[in-house]
Amino acid sequence: MKVVLLVGGKGIRLAGEDAPLPKALYRIGGQPIVYHIMRSFAARGFVRFLLTLGYRGERIVDYFLHHVPFLETDLRLRLGGDGDLPHIDRLDGPDERWDVTLAHTGLESPTGERLRRVRRYLADDERFIVTYGDGLADLDPAELVRFHGDHGRAGTITVVRARSQFGHVSFSEGGVVRMVEEKPLLPGWVNGGFFVFDHRLFDYLQPGDGLEADCLPRMVADGQLVARAHEGFWACMDTYKDGMMLNDLWDAGRAPWA
């Protein structure tokens, strides 16, 4: 089963309008967040990835061609002799093998249009996972896939409880404070960004669509989208402050997604 990562965004709230990197390449503990996401899936046996490139997509291509193959690997170089290029031998390193497709889906394409443009790469997959290139969680994707298979509808959306950015204060009519709660969980549920779809998804996508604003409401109208609540860890690297928090968790050895 393929995992589709929507990694075309700029990350304006994270790094500004002229961000030097695509959002997915901003780092946690020395490696881009997209690598952390992929490692969390690979740890559960999901090793076929499809990345929908957009803003500065060539930087993501460069990362996978020139950096990922040599991570955590001892190398021996043989220089000179026949030919001008060095010969590289891997002495050790991770045994896991990933199948990664890098697909350019347009600089400004909405998320739904990016999915439309990679449909041909999903032709052999009965179901596929879709997620964003900036979200981390401790959920088990295999459980999510099983849940999707059990209900039989076209799509599954993971919903989570987000935390307020501010402390909440309750007080009496006279102004006496009854409770101060620092950054509590908000009462409603939000899109956690981990989906499972089958090919009926494409019946609900039209050219130029956004997944969230256009496609999902059509699925809802037909009763084809089911929510699965995730009560565990979830975080989105949406701002610089979010990035600091995730790096602090990693540096402290307390990263729930690792």
Domain with 223 in it: what CATH number? 3.90.550.10
Residue 28 C-beta-side C-alpha neighbours within 13 Å: 32
> What are residue 103's DSSP bridge partners?
52
Instruction: Check pLDDT > 90 for residue 239.
Output: no
User: Does residue 182 lie in a domain region?
Assistant: no
CA nearest neighbour of 46 among 131, 117, 167: 131
Range of the domain at 71: 2-158+187-251
Instruction: Check pLDDT > 80 for residue 81.
Output: no
DSSP code for 256: T
User: Does residue 69 lie in a domain region?
Assistant: yes
User: Does residue 175 lie in a domain region?
Assistant: no
Instruction: Check pLDDT > 70 for residue 23.
Output: yes
Q: How many domains does the chain have?
A: 1
Instruction: Check pLDDT > 90 for residue 184.
Output: no
Which pLDDT score is estimated for 14?
64
pLDDT by residue (tens digit) across 106-161? 999 999 999 999 999 998 889 999 999 999 999 999 999 999 999 999 999 999 99
Instruction: Check pLDDT > 80 for residue 171.
Output: yes
User: Does residue 79 lie in a domain region?
Assistant: yes
Cβ-based neighbour number of residue 184 at 10 Å:
13
User: Does residue 179 lie in a domain region?
Assistant: no
Beta strands in the chain (DSSP E): 2-7, 27-28, 31-32, 48-53, 75-78, 87-90, 99-104, 127-132, 135-137, 155-160, 168-171, 177-181, 190-198, 225-229, 234-236
User: How large is the average pLDDT for residues 193-216?
Assistant: 97
User: Does residue 168 lie in a domain region?
Assistant: no
Q: How confident is the model at residue 32 (pLDDT cuts 50, 70, 90)?
A: very high
Pairing of strands 99-104, 48-53: parallel
Which pLDDT score is estimated for 6?
98
Percent of the chain with pLDDT over 70: 93
Q: Which residue has the higher pLDDT, 105 or 241?
A: 105
Which pLDDT score is estimated for 15?
60
